[in-house]
Structure 1
Amino acid sequence: MSQFITMNKFKIMLLLLFVANTVQAKEDKEAYQDCIFQYVTGTEEPSVSLMLTNACKKLYIDNFMLEEKEANYNQCLLDNLQSSKNKVASLKVKQACDQKHRSFFN
């Protein structure tokens, strides 16, 4: 009986966690547009524009169940790619953000 009660408590906690994440993860089209204006406008390299657009989309549109590491990675791209002038430098910045925020060792 005790194990049954513990299992039900566990299920309820999972449900509450799911609901809490759902409430927090909302599409914010205005913030997405502001992100595009702030970070994508003026970029010269097409691949950088695409990476920045994707980062904005992950943070403000497709953010359902977005983990903190992933959010930090996308913000790193936004903060450091905007002034990149060539593809090689952009890929190095992307790699550094990846290692800093997605590495198993962090």
Structure 2
Amino acid sequence: MGSFWGAVRIGLLDMRGDLRRFLLLVVCLAVGTALISGVNSVGASITRAIDDGAAELMGGDVELSRADRLATADELATMAGFGTISTTIDTNLRAESPPGRRLCRP
């Protein structure tokens, strides 16, 4: 326990002239932490608002999807009976170049 108080005493002696700088460091750390948590909080609020109101923002009430094929004409006609429909196609593409050639300029 004596070594702990010795270390505290040496630390206090070392900070004698730098106490203001140390307090400035503590204040800067506190302000930085508050800013980071504030930005995270605002980001989470925006994400939650978009997730909660996605149907109103996008103008849709129902989303139907198929991963294996496009909807047939019969399926499209059935969906059109319930209201306006829109079609979105998601793709997963990868670009390749022939051996010895580049996709972009050096």
Higher relative contact order (CA closer than 8 Å, sequence separation 6+): 1
TM-score range for the pair, normalised by the shorter chain length: 0.3 to 0.5
TM normalised by structure 1 equals 0.34
TM normalised by structure 2 equals 0.34
Structure with more helix by fraction: 1
Structure with greater Cα Rg: 2
